[in-house]
A and B are shown apart, each in its own frame.
Chain A
Amino acid sequence: MDESTKKGSVTSLASLFPVEEAQRAAKRVEDTIADKQSELDRLRGFATDNNSLINLVHKLPEQLSHDIMVPFGKAAFFPGRLIHTNEFLVLLGEGYYAERTSKQTVEILQRRGKSLDSQVDSLEANIKDLEAEASFFNATASQVAEGLVEIREDYLEKDSNEGEFKSGHLQQEAPNLGNATADDGEYARMLAIMDELEKEELAAESGNHSDQNDESTGDFHDISYREHIDNKLQNSKDVHQSELLDQINNKIITADLPKKQNRKEDITDQLNFASLAVESRVKERENFVEYIDPSEKIPARSKERSVQATTASKTEVRHQTSQPSFDSRKAFTGSIIEHAENIKPTTRQQSSASSQDSGSQSSKPVSRFKMQRR
């Protein structure tokens, strides 16, 4: 790969962020923190004042009058007493006052206290952020002092609209991909699930062929599924690489599971057909070049790590709709209905078991994979 010679650059961190500047930045942030801290103290003072005032307002109506020194200007007092102890005049803002009872005043004050609390909270969060920033600056300063260098390597983005697939690119990208997304524990778990499903498929296929009486359409579409997948596989030329891709694809989906549990059906489906495809590679290569697009996009998305199961299913839709020769859309809508009807809060570990349950409950057309595992 001749690209490896020119890609990547090494810059010393000191040239980007001189030590003094990093330190100055840290100092500035610390100053801001000090400012915010004093403001926080002020707000806290308001909050405590407010609380004591609430107590006072609570207590005042207990007696008809209270002997007090009535302030007269700022430097003088008259001896006097508070009267009408259940009538408060509360400033609403902008010079508007409202006459309230003790209880109503307490409510107003409590609302004020709440807004003060939220201000305090936001300020605290702000300070926390600033502290993180300051520690970052300090870390940078110390790293610069140590003479750290920054190695930068350009990510070669493939044009997904190109339509042409270069296997060389994939071979180059896929290992990176594996590294980038390799959360080892999750990966291992995912592989285990894959193996399990594969075994299940095998057992079901050998045993349950008689079950497939009116599932012929489903079968048919499954073949189309397989073809798509296999096209991906064939085009990538490296079976292992594509397997990895598929796995990663599945992994992306499963990784999203906790958030989108109601998508579990979708995911188990995908797992199924993906594993099937890997297991039985039909060597058919026709002019499905465009179907490569989704599979090409997947690496890019996995880099982002924000892939949603919905987008995954969208690519599936594209597989289906762009090939009208098979009546695959029908089968797909069937599976969608299945998904919508069997929303169950299940965790990833339970997903295979619960998919069996839901398969048996469903009266809608079921995909072959579900049927087999019943």
Chain B
Amino acid sequence: MDSLRQEKVQRFEEFVDKRLKPDLVHAIAQRDKVFEQQKIFTDLRKNIENLEKNSVTSLRTLVNIGSEVYLQAEVPDTQHIFVDVGFGFHVEFTWSEALNYIDKREEKIARQIEEYTQLIASIKAQIKLVCEGIRELLQLPAEKSLPERIF
């Protein structure tokens, strides 16, 4: 009986440590990536809006060609912008088209973030559930001040 319970507790703990926690870490990493994307696109939108406001037609900038070595570059015509749409494809847009696309993209990114947040929450809930199960198995009193796990 006792050994059976011990074994069960061990299996639950293994489930938490080897399945749920790595899942959680993975989900958080994924969400961070999406956050980064969101930042990239907000930056891009701000930049394009800036160009529009200042009605820039030609542009000179510095290009990083690797190892922090910069070279001057000239953009004769800023009307056409190539935006990354994923999977290595770049689509040629005008500014308004680009802004349109970025809006849609941002919406999608926000949705993704929401999804990942949900996922993370559910994984955390599962972890908590299993921990509670272990507590019950060990017949420990349900402490009010149970040491909170910080994720």
Q: Which of B65, B66, B67, B73 contacts A80 (CB 8 A)?
A: B73
Given contacts A73-B44, A75-B44, A77-B82, contact A53 B69 (CB under 8 A): yes
Q: Which of A56, A79, A87 contacts B72 (CB 8 A)?
A: A87
Can you report 14 residue pairs joining A to B where beta carbons are below 8 Å apart?
A49-B66, A53-B69, A57-B65, A69-B82, A70-B63, A75-B44, A76-B44, A77-B90, A82-B73, A83-B60, A84-B71, A91-B70, A105-B69, A112-B67
Say if the beta carbon of B143 comes within 8 Å of chain A.
Answer: no
A76 touches B98 (CB 8 A): yes
Given contacts A73-B44, A73-B47, A89-B62, contact A78 B78 (CB under 8 A): yes
- Scoring B47, B70, B80 by chain A CB atoms within 10 A of each residue's CB, the highest score goes to B70
Say if the beta carbon of B76 comes within 8 Å of chain A.
Answer: yes
Contacts of A73 in B (CB 8 A): 40, 43-44, 47
Give the nearest-CB partner of A80 in chain B: B75
Say if the beta carbon of A81 comes within 8 Å of chain B.
Answer: yes
B81 touches A76 (CB 8 A): yes
Say if the beta carbon of B77 comes within 8 Å of chain A.
Answer: yes
Contacts of B77 in A (CB 8 A): 79
Say if the beta carbon of A72 comes within 8 Å of chain B.
Answer: yes
Contacts of B69 in A (CB 8 A): 53, 57, 88-91, 105, 109
Say if the beta carbon of A71 comes within 8 Å of chain B.
Answer: yes
Given contacts A73-B44, A89-B70, A89-B71, contact A78 B59 (CB under 8 A): yes
Where the two chains meet, the residues of B that have a C-beta atom closer than 8 Å to any C-beta of A are: 40-41, 43-44, 47, 59-63, 65-78, 80-84, 90, 98
Say if the beta carbon of A60 comes within 8 Å of chain B.
Answer: yes
Complex: A90 Cα to B75 Cα, angstroms: 22
Given contacts A75-B84, A79-B77, A80-B75, contact A68 B68 (CB under 8 A): no
Complex: A5 Cα to B114 Cα, angstroms: 80
Say if the beta carbon of A50 comes within 8 Å of chain B.
Answer: yes
B67 touches A79 (CB 8 A): no
B75 touches A78 (CB 8 A): yes
Contacts of A79 in B (CB 8 A): 75, 77, 80, 82
Task: Tell me, rounded to whole Å, the shortest Cβ–Cβ distance linking B85 to chain A.
Answer: 9
Task: Tell me, rounded to whole Å, the shortest Cβ–Cβ distance linking B114 to chain A.
Answer: 21
Give the nearest-CB partner of B75 in chain A: A80
Task: Tell me, rounded to whole Å, the shortest Cβ–Cβ distance linking A111 to chain B.
Answer: 12
Where the two chains meet, the residues of A that have a C-beta atom closer than 8 Å to any C-beta of B are: 49-50, 52-53, 56-57, 60, 65, 68-85, 87-91, 97, 105, 109, 112
B67 touches A72 (CB 8 A): no
Give the nearest-CB partner of A60 in chain B: B71
A72 touches B44 (CB 8 A): yes
Give the nearest-CB partner of B36 in chain A: A74
Contacts of B98 in A (CB 8 A): 76
Contacts of A91 in B (CB 8 A): 67-70
Task: Tell me, rounded to whole Å, the shortest Cβ–Cβ distance linking B86 to chain A.
Answer: 10
Given contacts A53-B66, A57-B69, A72-B47, contact A80 B40 (CB under 8 A): no
Contacts of B62 in A (CB 8 A): 89
Complex: A71 Cα to B41 Cα, angstroms: 14
Complex: A90 Cα to B65 Cα, angstroms: 10
Complex: A57 Cα to B44 Cα, angstroms: 29
Complex: A57 Cα to B84 Cα, angstroms: 27
Given contacts A72-B47, A74-B44, A80-B74, 9 further A-B contacts (CB under 8 A): A56-B66, A70-B73, A72-B44, A74-B40, A76-B98, A82-B71, A82-B73, A88-B70, A109-B67
Give the nearest-CB partner of A74 in chain B: B40
- Scoring A53, A60, A74 by chain B CB atoms within 10 A of each residue's CB, the highest score goes to A74
Q: Which of A50, A68, A71 contacts B67 (CB 8 A)?
A: A50
B82 touches A78 (CB 8 A): yes
Q: Which of A52, A77, A83, A105 contacts B74 (CB 8 A)?
A: A83
B74 touches A87 (CB 8 A): no
Given contacts A56-B65, A60-B71, contact A78 B80 (CB under 8 A): yes
Contacts of A60 in B (CB 8 A): 71
